[in-house]
Amino acid sequence: MEKELEQTQRDLTKIVLFGPESTGKSTLAESLARHYNTEWVPEFARAYLQEKYNNSAEMCAPSDLIPIAKGQIQLENEKAKKAKDLLFCDTNVLQTLTYAKTYYKNFEDPILEDCVKQHQYAHYFLTCIDTPWVPDDLRDKPHERKEMFAIFEETLISRGVSYTVLKGNLTERLQKAKSILKTL
């Protein structure tokens, strides 16, 4: 695997916020990091794709996926160096791969697959679609939220990873997340 796609190994519990667009992943990752006085990893794809959209009015293409994965991993590795015990990741390469398989039918990328298989996370928090959908330049599936949630959940199930669905308002989600984190 390319060095830029390797995950830094540390004695650190890594948690992924995972799920469809506009389900509160960023807010939750930041809130959890603040509560535990640690770091959180923002979603690299948002900044990358917003810049692309601003410069050319183009959306994500398959050629963007490896640069997005590299950028996400670089951010994660940087934050892992500073984190204290826990690191909250607002998405990861599995999220990128899930979107790719949804948007680009029959999409396969052995580099991304290898990356997903080799990266280690203690737990995933799958964010439910019970939050208001907030439009922006990049979000495009306001009427397909149930279908997208099902795709994300099926991804976690098929990969056999440990996950918990987080529902409700921010306070309810934080309470549930904190109770799960006590068990890890």
Go through the domains of the chain in sequence order and give each one's CATH number. Answer: 3-181 (3.40.50.300)
pLDDT band of 106, cuts 50, 70, 90: confident
pLDDT at 115 exceeding the cut of 70: yes
Per-residue confidence (pLDDT) for residue 143, from 0 to 100: 81
pLDDT band of 149, cuts 50, 70, 90: very high
Tokens of 9: 């190994």
Q: Are the C-beta atoms of residues 96 and 45 closer than 8 Å to each other? A: yes
Helix and strand numbers (H, E) in the chain are 7, 5
Q: Regarding beta strands 86-90 and 163-166, do their DSSP bridges make them parallel or antiparallel, or are they unpaired?
A: unpaired
Per-residue confidence (pLDDT) for residue 1, from 0 to 100: 66
Alpha carbons 42 and 33: distance in angstroms, whole number = 11
- Tens digits of per-residue pLDDT, 8-50? 878 899 999 999 999 999 999 999 999 999 999 999 998 988 8
Q: Regarding beta strands 123-127 and 13-18, do their DSSP bridges make them parallel or antiparallel, or are they unpaired?
A: parallel
pTM summary value:
0.94
- Tens digits of per-residue pLDDT, 51-100? 988 899 888 999 999 999 999 999 999 999 999 999 999 999 999 999 99
Which residues 6+ apart lie within 8 Å of 3 measured at CB? none
> From edge to edge, which strands make up the β-sheet containing 13-18?
39-41, 86-90, 13-18, 123-127, 163-166
